[in-house]
A and B are shown apart, each in its own frame.
Chain A
């Protein structure tokens, strides 16, 4: 078995185990820390797919900025653990698990005929312009995808203003 498959299996197991740990933990703080583990493992998988820029952004933006915001809010609110006494429709809720099995079976049935086994070879000479480098992402982002980029900046501005309005105390 090649080194690449071993690396994939290690990071896939880390990602799945920390994702399952989110479901097993009662405290949201430990759930958030497990999600950071999943995000770091996914970032390593992006490196194996030659998506270096996305791997770096995953760590900086997701594991860095977004998860820090989550942990900040969890600590600010001093969130109580899941209280088991107020359980409504308990049996109905656990129907989710058989349906999850069904969803998995369906997805693997769809994935079965896929026979694509190798990444495309890197063309020699312009390795720094290959797909996934900062050069290729930046060039595409500021030429073909300029409109989505600008719309994103408007969206971020709206989110900042909206978050301030929503989290403000009444009467301030």
Chain B
């Protein structure tokens, strides 16, 4: 089950949101050694975790645990690519009402290979469902090594926005992901299911 969390319902899902920030610290700071802010020593949380962000959070029945999540930002406002990595887009940072940015895509550390892949697949389908609900036709995303093939493996249509560049010793690339109703069909077929993954109740509250 995937919760759609926005500024409107963040308080209602506070335990899941807190668990997400704790896992993000374990993944991005402890394991991947990213140089990003940590709050109270246990939460990874930066300037883009604001009221404009929409999160998809994979959770369990109790809706309090965090199994995986992704942060989606409108490109019409400051976002990671426009503020931190504009140099990875050779033709300028793509911006528009129908373009959102994917950041902090992750699965909880305790998950193993297959489980982790299932969570990530669920999130990918969730992102496509959300795109169709929000009217998003393209996602952009900054990709560090190790994420690039995972992003592409989803099976949606990707394009490079520039050549990868050395940013502080890491090869950072930028991708454009095209979304259409056919993308949803393709992904669902591949996963072998038809039902929506987003919790519609949460969307109603979020809207």
Q: A and B from one assembly? A: no
User: What residues of chain B have their CB less than 8 Å away from a CB belonging to chain A?
Assistant: none
